[in-house]
Amino acid sequence: MKLLVDDTILIEGVKNRERAAMEALYRQFAPVLFSILLRYIKLRADAEDLLQETFLKIFANIHQFNNEGSFEGWLKRIAVNMALNHIQANKRKLEDREWIDEKHANMLVSKFKTSQELEYEDLQKLIQLLPEQKRLIFTLYDIEGFKHAEIAEMLKITEAGCRSQLAKAREMLAHLHKQINQIKSPSPIGEGFRERLN
Amino acid sequence: MKTSKLPENPEEIGAFYKARFQEQQAFPSDAVFTALFEKIDQTENNISLDSKKKLNFFLHPKAFRFAASISSIVITSALVLAGSLAVVTVVYDHSFQPQKQEIKVLNNEQQTLEETKKTNKVAKVKAVEPEIETPKTKEEIIEVKKEIESIKETEKVVTPISSSTPEKLVEPKPTKEVVPVKGDNKHVLDEIQEEELFKK
């Protein structure tokens, strides 16, 4: 409830073009929005540029928020749209593979030591191994919580295509998990995997 | 949240990542904040400068004069254009209207159909009988009769006597047959004249 009141004050301040309100809004939501952008944009520098553009868009369109629903949800949606637009605009540069790049996957997996516990950044890197479209669908559905119909509309694909791509993305991650788990729990199979990598 | 074992069942993967990513926060560098608010300040300044410039421009007397001259030019051009358009329309209506397909001429006209065609610039000329208005009321009939009578009288007076067509009305009717007088019959003529005088 406290957050809701704070949100309302912030929104009103930003609507009145108050500098303090804008700064407070940035400080409160930049980390959440930046983490969302990082799920879609591989390069940190690109994600930072996009964060700046996202906030400019938020400040410019704050009047469109009619205090119905979650303000944070509205901000997240803008960030996701910005990321998707960025990806679609640079589609020619992006590699859209049908399967995980084994070379990159093996390099990443080999870095995990037996005793090491995986952190957020490691999981982020694992997701980034997925082919472009599968990664987007997995992130949008499993992490952001969008529905298949919404994702299909965003990515201009069919709902059935969205479901099948999601299933493939999960299978790919499961395959990677198996490889990493074998390293972490040394066994004859795990040793063989590491030897094969070397 | 650190992870030692990763789920290998595809069905569990979604929930696993969601739990670790949902509340995750990443902190951008301070340069982003600085650049963002510099851009905002710049935009705000540009907006206020633009509005100030616009206001100053309209308050300046030169601007008024400029606006007045521009508007006068625009109005004059509009008037000239409207006039030209009107002239063009009139000229077009009179000169370039599509030709009539057919005209009707009276059957008793002297001009031949071909000549009429050329003169009136039409595709087809049709000869028609003149329409005669028939009098309907009694008064009209009387009037028409009077007109006819008057025309007849006028014709009697005005119509010249042609050499080729002798006028019957003017020609006197001989009372007696006149015999040509020749040398030996002169006494006969004298007798007739004496008889005439006697009668009178």
Range A13-21 average pLDDT: 91
pLDDT digits (tens, 9 = 90+) for A19-45: 999 999 999 999 999 999 998 888 899
Q: Which of B7, B20, B31 sits opposite A120 (nearest CB)?
A: B20
B77 and B102 inside one domain: no
Walking along chain B (200 residues) 10 residues at a time, the average pLDDT comes out as: 80 90 85 91 76 63 78 91 89 66 59 69 67 70 85 66 52 54 62 73
Range A183-191 average pLDDT: 56
What is the number of domains present in chain B?
2
- Is there a domain that residue B113 lies in? yes
- Provide the CA A101 distance to its chain's centre, in angstroms: 19
pLDDT: which is higher, B124 or A160: A160
Residue A16 in contact with residue A56, Cβ under 8 Å?
no
Tokens linked to B3: 């992870």
Alpha-carbon distance of A59 to A55, in angstroms, equals 6
- Is there a domain that residue B105 lies in? yes
Q: Which of A17, A123, A181 sits opposite B17 (nearest CB)?
A: A123
Sort out which chain B residues have CB atoms less than 8 A from A59's CB and list them: 40
B40 and B77 inside one domain: yes
- Is there a domain that residue A94 lies in? no
- Is there a domain that residue B34 lies in? yes
- Write out the residues of chain B at the interface with chain A, using a CB-CB cutoff of 8 A: 1-11, 13-15, 17-18, 20-22, 24-29, 31-33, 35-37, 39-40, 44
Tokens linked to B187: 């006494």
Q: Which of A35, A52, A180 sits opposite B6 (nearest CB)?
A: A180
Beta strands in B22-170 (DSSP E): 102-106, 124-128
A78 and A122 inside one domain: no
Residue of B nearest to A183 (CA): B5
Q: Which of B2, B14, B27 sits opposite A118 (nearest CB)?
A: B2
pLDDT digits (tens, 9 = 90+) for A42-73: 889 999 999 999 999 999 999 999 878 889 99
A52 and A117 inside one domain: no
Q: With an 8 Å Cβ cutoff, are B17 and A184 in contact? A: no
A187 and A124 inside one domain: yes
Q: What is the pLDDT of residue A95?
A: 54
Chosen domain end from A89, A114, A140: A89
Sort out which chain B residues have CB atoms less than 8 A from A118's CB and list them: 2-4, 6
pLDDT: which is higher, B50 or A104: A104
| Closest by Cα among A54, A46, A42 to A139 | A42
B108 and B59 inside one domain: no
Residue of B nearest to A51 (CA): B32
Chosen domain end from B128, B146, B177: B128
**Which whole-number Å values give the CA distances from B84 to B74, B77, B79, B162, in the listed order?**
15, 10, 9, 61
Sort out which chain B residues have CB atoms less than 8 A from A123's CB and list them: 3, 17, 20-21
Chosen domain end from B76, B110, B128: B128
Lowest mean pLDDT among A87-96, A134-143, B170-179: B170-179
Which letter, b or e, does each residue of A176-196 get, where b requires 16 or more Cβ atoms within 10 Å of its Cβ?
bbebbbbbbeeeeebeebeee
Residue of B nearest to A118 (CA): B3
Residue A130 in contact with residue A172, Cβ under 8 Å?
yes
Q: Tell me what ipTM this predicted complex has.
A: 0.77
- Is there a domain that residue B108 lies in? yes
Tokens linked to A139: 């992130």
- Is there a domain that residue A54 lies in? yes
Residue A191 reports pLDDT greater than 60: no
Q: What is the pLDDT of residue B49?
A: 67
Residue of A nearest to B37 (CA): A23
Chosen domain end from A24, A57, A89: A89
Q: What is the pLDDT of residue A129?
A: 86
- Provide the CA A73 distance to its chain's centre, in angstroms: 15
Q: With an 8 Å Cβ cutoff, are A31 and B17 in contact? A: no
B42 and B57 inside one domain: yes
- Is there a domain that residue B173 lies in? no
Using DSSP's 3-state secondary structure scheme, residue B175 falls into coil
A119: DSSP letter: -
Distance (Å) from the C-alpha of residue B44 to the closest C-alpha of chain A? 9
Query: Domain limits at B118?
Result: 98-128
- Type of residue at B74: V
Sort out which chain B residues have CB atoms less than 8 A from A19's CB and list them: 37, 40
DSSP assignment of chain B equals --BSS---SHHHHHHHHHHHHTT------HHHHHHHHHHHHHHHHHHHHHHHHHHHHHHSHHHHHHHHHHHHHHHHHHHHHHHHHHHHHHHHHHHSSPPPSEEEEETT-SS-HHHHHHHHT-SEEEEEPPP-PPP-SHHHHHHHHHHHHHHHHHHHHHSPPPSSS--TTTSPPPSSPPPPP-GGGHHHHHHHHHHHHHH-
What is the number of domains present in chain A?
2
Query: Domain limits at A124?
Result: 102-197
- Is there a domain that residue A41 lies in? yes
Tokens linked to B2: 């650190």
Which letter, b or e, does each residue of A99-113 get, where b requires 16 or more Cβ atoms within 10 Å of its Cβ?
ebeeeebbebbeebe
Residue A27 φ/ψ, nearest 5 degrees = -65, -35
Q: With an 8 Å Cβ cutoff, are A39 and B33 in contact? A: no
B35 and B88 inside one domain: yes
- Is there a domain that residue A97 lies in? no
Residue of B nearest to A35 (CA): B26
Instruction: For residue B82, count CB atoms less than 10 angstroms from its CB and return exposed for 0-12, middle for 13-18, buried for 19 or more.
Output: exposed
Tokens linked to A47: 């994600």
Using DSSP's 3-state secondary structure scheme, residue A16 falls into coil
Q: Which of A19, A31, A180 sits opposite B27 (nearest CB)?
A: A31
Cβ–Cβ contact A31 with B under 8 A:
yes
Residue A93 in contact with residue A43, Cβ under 8 Å?
no
A193 and A114 inside one domain: yes
Who contacts B118 (Cβ-Cβ below 8 Å, separation ≥6)? Answer: none
